[in-house]
Amino acid sequence: MDIVVSNKGSRPLYEQIADQIKGAILRGEAKAGDPLPSIRSLAKALHISILTVQKAYDTLQEEGFIETTAGKGCYVAPQNQDFYLEEQQKKIEEKFAEAITIARASGISLEKLTDLLSLMYEEDE
């Protein structure tokens, strides 16, 4: 699993790390029981503080994506598909809310917004 962080964005480094690991889990690239890089080795590879990686791992553990075993490290937690689906739906709802706000402010009708969504959705198939 390749993790890339950037200081140029407005998002904190720990969020960038956590989001990339979550993405790998949701895409099935990292499976239940797979080990994650140690906090020290990831911090060293990314040239960032150990505390930053620790915060990312703490966030992932709180959200149920990883488990930590004392003295052994961090592993991808076993998840059920409903949990993953719920996580993805929350992200979509946030994006939809943003799109709706922009559409309303621009005077774009619901019909045009749904047509645009349908077109974009089918375009990627």
Alpha-carbon dihedral sign for residues 63, 64, 68, 69: positive
Q: What is the pLDDT of residue 27?
A: 84
- Burial profile 30-55: b = 16 or more Cβ within 10 angstroms, e = fewer: beeeeebbebeebbeebebeeebbeb
pLDDT single digits (tens) 10-30: 899 999 999 999 989 888 899
pLDDT single digits (tens) 52-94: 999 999 999 998 899 998 889 999 998 756 677 787 888 899 9
pTM check: above 0.95: no
* Strands annotated E in the chain: 66-69, 73-76
- The pLDDT of 100-119, averaged and rounded, is 95
Question: How many of the other CB atoms lie within 10 Å of CB of 11?
Answer: 10
pLDDT of 123 > 90? The answer is no
